[in-house]
Chain A
């Protein structure tokens, strides 16, 4: 089910009143548990079995891990995480590795008799598998108690607002909320609608209206002039942000409507003046997960500069692989890893502290960071390695090019929302200074925001980009 479609609105219209009509969690939790499976099974009923399996593995794994400490507990952790990773590996990476091994064998003149695997990728599998791993590790570390109710664990792992595209929630953030009875609060409920309305504008108006022109350019980059290519890349720079941040905001908003709180997943990442800062603002739940469960166990920032660099590179490389079994994603992760290494090296330089705070340095940092992010989106979006090279080559021609496009591009659509969101909405000073405290205006803003979303939404199918991950 997609948030911006009629089936989801019908689902929400049924689920919300039903949920609040129950007075006790005794009924609310099973209802949410069932709602999660209906939501997920809407794509393909077979996915429900997979989700159920993940919940069962986490449930049994956590109970085994929580037995008196010792080797058995560690083994249970490895076994639980192993099963989850095998599931992820099978559904997400088996086809990629099989096709690459086949290509390698054939490249050396051998013969590979198997055909390329054609496995359906269950929507959002990376999100709930990572969440399951974080739960098992948290139980192992003792930061959360194992959940003894299968239903509650199912509500946590499969909570439908964030099930398919995050945010990835730590067990310590969500499980305690399930222990406390949710009380209806009009303020939280309406705040949920406000976030949903903003996310709806992000996704349906800004991202989806950009998707068409962007797709057109990336479909056949060879046919387009450098300026069109630049427009397409700029469009994707905005599209991916509005698409993913829009989904996250809608997810957080829907969770609020049910009385739950999810952590922010984006904090205006295009304001970041360093790559380190970018990763504190972009897909925060994933970068936090990677930090807690990969970067720190690898050694984190302890050790020599070389070791820190190695840890950063491995983390980002695997972060790229998390997005999908594709060489382009690995390149994207690899470049970000290198950029983070450079950033850390600069931060370690005493001169950086002297220069920090100077406007010119900040502007330079901003431009450099956003240029890296901008260029990294090219392999992320391009269909092949070859296309990535082609696009970069065409962008290099920009200083010499004739200022003409091969197809009309909606420049205002690509620039104005991005500017407004990054530099007006994203400015804590301005939003505080210009805040409008008025209940009537609040209601009006939500209503007209949703109406504007419906009026200007793109008509056509444009799935959320992050559903594929």
Chain B
């Protein structure tokens, strides 16, 4: 029976709706609106007092954050080593094994703790939510340690920076992990982020419209409510879940061939990717400001020429002091050109994921000493 018993609640409301009638005194639209606002507002306030994890303990974000927290706290003296925070798409989610990455970095003489907040589906608000929930869930002492530790925050470069917010909304709304919720705390933080870090290049009206889309549509509507039965499938996420096999329609040979072409990148794209992304990135920087020492970007090997060209253009547009990882050079890419390494043009699979992780570790090992030198912040203090 389980959650099915909950059906009695909507059935009760159905009965109530079927039985109510207007009294002899005429109805008032103003009063009706006031009652609706009170009911919805009251519910939202009440709901916001309950932590999401209490309601969806097995949601993907809650499970992964639990794992990340345990991983961090169980790592001895983690605060003495650099912490690398990855914020990426499915390419990172399926392509980077964080445990192997730590091991490889250790072997290369640059030990670090890696926390990945990457999510399939290319959704900024969800990653933001996961990151904020993680930070909120850390004990205050650990949060303080994280603020003092050497933190490198790396965002993945991909070329789908929220071009169609409404489409993205519907994608999120229909995803099985639509669990976000606009709590007053998160809303205030978002507002602060936008107010303080608005990009002056963007017209105000556009900024307001994006704020509306981002906060209301993505944070509130998509995840405010859940289905009657938990729709979240338990996936083999922590610690690592590489894809298996290859996509039915993906043609490896064609993809490889296409890499020889050099598509043109529209000039505004390489400079300012997409307005929505700038807003999200501002929000992310605002959240991470107390923690991170460096904010950089990385791009993973791909088998799609337009993405590869975009990655190159994006990295080229960054200031010289921004830490960058990638793209893979011709020799490194060549080593990854094996049919069984790729699920499709973006996602490595099986052994491919292992190889990509190894490549990523080698590149990280080159920049970490430059960024943090031989000593950590804690040591110097």
Interface residues of A (CB under 8 A from B): 5-7, 186-187, 189-190, 193-194, 197-198, 201, 205-206, 209, 410-413, 416-417, 420-421, 424-425, 431, 434-461
Contact = CB atoms under 8 A, between A and B. Distances in A.
Contacts of B28: 186, 439
B1 A454 contact: no
A129 B43 CA distance: 44
Contacts of A197: 17
Contacts of A454: 224-225
Contacts of A443: 27, 31-32, 35-36
Interface residues of B, number: 50
A447 B35 contact: yes
B42 to A, nearest CB: 10
Contacts of B205: none
Contacts of A194: 17, 20
A200 B8 CA distance: 16
B373 interface: no
Contacts of B4: 410-413
B10 to A, nearest CB: 5
5 contacts: A6-B166, A431-B18, A438-B21, A459-B225, A461-B174
B1 A446 contact: no
B26 interface: yes
Contacts of B36: 443, 446-447, 450
Describe A's contact surface by its main secondary structure. helix
B174 A451 contact: no
B14 A440 contact: no
Given A209-B228, A439-B27, A439-B28, A453 B10 contact: yes
A434 B19 contact: yes
B14 A417 contact: yes
Contacts of B26: 186-187
B169 interface: yes
A226 B38 CA distance: 48
Given A205-B10, A456-B9, A437 B22 contact: yes
Contacts of A438: 20-21, 23
Contact of B227 (A434, A450, A459): A459
A420 B174 contact: no
Contact of B18 (A412, A413, A425): A425
A436 B15 contact: no
B231 interface: yes
Contact of B19 (A431, A444, A451, A459): A431
Contact of A452 (B13, B22, B31): B13
Contacts of B19: 431, 434-436
Given A205-B228, A443-B32, A6 B170 contact: yes
A250 to B, nearest CB: 13
A413 B176 CA distance: 20
Contacts of B6: 456
Interface of B: 1, 4-11, 13-29, 31-32, 35-36, 38-40, 43, 166, 169-170, 173-174, 176, 178, 217, 221, 224-229, 231
A457 to B, nearest CB: 7
A332 to B, nearest CB: 28
B20 A442 contact: yes
B40 A413 contact: no
Contacts of B170: 5-6
Given A194-B17, A448-B16, A454-B224, A459 B32 contact: no
A450 B22 CA distance: 18
Contact of A209 (B1, B24, B169, B229): B229
A6 B170 CA distance: 8
Contacts, number: 164
A413 B225 contact: no
Contacts of A441: 16, 20
A194 B17 CA distance: 7
B26 to A, nearest CB: 7
A303 to B, nearest CB: 42
B231 A424 contact: no
Contacts of B18: 198, 424-425, 431
Contacts of B5: 412
Contacts of B20: 194, 435-436, 438, 441-442, 445
A260 to B, nearest CB: 18
The list of the 6 closest CB pairs from A to B, nearest first, reads: A447-B39, A443-B35, A412-B4, A447-B36, A443-B32, A425-B18
Contact of A460 (B14, B174, B217): B174
Given A209-B228, A413-B228, A448 B13 contact: yes
A411 B4 CA distance: 8
A245 to B, nearest CB: 12
A442 B22 contact: yes
A451 B9 contact: no
A456 B15 contact: no
B22 A410 contact: no
A152 to B, nearest CB: 28
A452 B28 CA distance: 23
A410 B229 contact: yes
A445 B16 contact: yes
A453 B224 CA distance: 12
A455 to B, nearest CB: 5
Given A451-B40, A459-B227, A187 B22 contact: yes
A420 B9 contact: no
A425 B14 CA distance: 8
A39 B220 CA distance: 25
A196 to B, nearest CB: 10
Contacts of A411: 1, 4
Contacts of A447: 35-36, 38-40
Given A186-B28, A439-B25, A460-B231, A452 B40 contact: no
Contact of A190 (B27, B39, B217): B27
A456 B227 contact: yes
A194 B40 CA distance: 16
Given A190-B27, A447-B36, 5 more contacts: A190-B29, A205-B228, A431-B18, A440-B35, A447-B40
Contacts of B231: 459-460
A417 B32 CA distance: 27
Contacts of A412: 1, 4-5, 7-8
A194 B14 CA distance: 10
Contact of A449 (B14, B217, B226, B228): B14
A201 to B, nearest CB: 5
A7 B166 contact: yes
